[in-house]
Amino acid sequence: MISAQTKANGNGRVRHGTHQRVQGPLIVVGMWRSGTSLLYALLNQHPQIALMYECDLPLLWPLFLGGRAKKDWPERWEFWNSAPSRHRLELDQLPRSVSGLAEACRVAWKQYAGSAIGGCKSPNYFDMLPELATQFPDARFIVIRRSPLDVCRSVVRAARGDSFFARRGMILRALCSSYDLNAGVENLRARNVPVHEVQYEILVHDPEKTMAGICDFLNLQAYSGMTDLRHADRSAIYEGAHHEMVKSEEIRADKKENEEVLADRALRKIQRYMAFSGEQRGTSESSAGFVLEKFLDRVLYRALRTYDQAVACFYCFAPLWLLRKYRATKAHRPDAVATKETLVGVSVKR
């Protein structure tokens, strides 16, 4: 346990500590459905860590083009994903004339964390690691890993009750994104950026070992309260059945994780990708047909990602009255229903 002078930061969260620690933000990244929310909940129980939950302000980088922020960037950020209100930040306390994205993030993270280690946890940074390391040269990164097969299975289960995961091509997004994440980690390591990797399965079955390793990485004294969820603050985490596990009182694997929910076509595709990845480590699972398949998948994946980025740009530049009208219209539509074909990213004739 840490025994030190108690301090309270600006948003009322109590923080402790004079133990020497790492300066600069902490950024936690992983694929969707890879345990990032669980890791966030455990990390934030340390008295010297206060990460924001999916603040995702870096996704709105067009708000800060040319080194000059749009004056209404806090309102647009709030409209994007309610991050300020979820973390009890006052919009009028956020400066309007920041010099760029990095300053805006640092201000927000500082307001939330106070004297503790600030930063953000988000799976949506999977393809932004090199850019984030450039924007925040003093940052440290924690990356959580999970098998692409298990990630995709979890995406299918989450799609049953959440429209985000029911989007067209979500399995293809998750599959290709995992390789983007791998490339990003390799880029950071090549640049000697501090990176600590965590395995989801080890986190679930041995949280004490995992959290001790993270504390060592951050030069923090180990804190026993990080090894369970009984006292975790999960108020910033979105509601939804897919967060049922992280909002429970104990750390446990999903009882349904061994249930095969993937369609045969998706299952075979993921297995081909994993075999190809194994080939690079010395196996011989590859073919000219797969090379073509991988190329076509990548084309479709880039189209999906371009659409995602276009939506972010729309939120950055469209008039706020139009955005509110758009959201009101969207709210009256029935939730998306996931099918095996839309998840994979293709459609078939009925």
pLDDT tens digits for range 49-105: 999 999 999 999 999 998 789 999 999 999 999 999 999 999 999 999 998 999 999
Which CATH number characterizes residue 56's domain?
A: 3.40.50.300
Mean pLDDT of 143-150: 93
Pairing of strands 14-16, 6-8: antiparallel
Q: How far apart are CA 114 and CA 109, in angstroms?
A: 8
Q: Is the pLDDT of residue 128 over 60?
A: yes
> Phi and psi for 28 in degrees, rounded to 5?
-110, 125
Q: How far apart are CA 175 and CA 147, in angstroms?
A: 10
Does residue 1 form part of some domain?
no
Give me the number of domains the chain comprises: 1
pLDDT tier at 276 (50, 70, 90 boundaries)? confident
pLDDT tier at 256 (50, 70, 90 boundaries)? low
Does residue 101 form part of some domain?
yes
Does residue 348 form part of some domain?
no
Q: How far apart are CA 192 and CA 227, in angstroms?
A: 29
**Does residue 279 contact residue 286 with C-beta atoms inside 8 Å?**
yes
Q: What is the pLDDT at residue 282?
A: 43
Lowest mean pLDDT among 12-21, 124-133, 136-145: 12-21
Q: How far apart are CA 118 and CA 140, in angstroms?
A: 11
Mean pLDDT of 214-235: 90
Q: What is the pLDDT at residue 160?
A: 85
**Does residue 230 contact residue 249 with C-beta atoms inside 8 Å?**
yes
**pTM listed for this prediction:** 0.85
Q: Is 222 helix (H, G, I), strand (E, B) or coil?
A: coil
pLDDT tens-digit readout, 1-35: 232 323 334 343 434 344 444 579 999 999 998 99
Does residue 115 form part of some domain?
yes
Closest-CA residue to 251 (of 200, 215, 216, 217): 200
Please name the residues in contact with 10: beta carbons below 8 A apart, sequence gap of 6 or more.
111, 114
> Phi and psi for 110 in degrees, rounded to 5?
-70, -40
Q: What is the pLDDT at residue 4?
A: 30
Could you tell me the two tokens for 249? Answer: 């009182």
pLDDT tens-digit readout, 327-337: 888 765 555 44
Q: Is the pLDDT of residue 111 over 80?
A: yes
Q: How far apart are CA 176 and CA 182, in angstroms?
A: 10
Q: What is the pLDDT at residue 287?
A: 77
Q: What is the pLDDT at residue 250?
A: 73
**Does residue 119 contact residue 28 with C-beta atoms inside 8 Å?**
yes
Q: What is the pLDDT at residue 165?
A: 87
pLDDT tier at 344 (50, 70, 90 boundaries)? low
pLDDT tier at 243 (50, 70, 90 boundaries)? low
Q: How many Å is the Cα radius of gyration of the chain? A: 21
Please name the residues in contact with 139: beta carbons below 8 A apart, sequence gap of 6 or more.
24, 25, 26, 27, 119, 132, 133, 193
* Domain extent at residue 180: 6-342
Does residue 66 form part of some domain?
yes
Does residue 255 form part of some domain?
yes
Does residue 51 form part of some domain?
yes
Q: What is the pLDDT at residue 258?
A: 65
**Does residue 41 contact residue 246 with C-beta atoms inside 8 Å?**
yes
pLDDT tens-digit readout, 157-197: 888 888 888 888 999 999 999 999 999 999 999 999 999 99
Could you tell me the two tokens for 114? Answer: 């106070």
Question: Concatenated DSSP letters for 23-55?
Answer: -S-EEEEE-TTSSHHHHHHHHTTSTTB--EES-
Compute the CA torsion angle 226, 82, 155, 142 (nearest 10 deg). Answer: -40
Does residue 312 form part of some domain?
yes
**Does residue 343 contact residue 170 with C-beta atoms inside 8 Å?**
yes
State the chain's mean pLDDT as an integer: 84
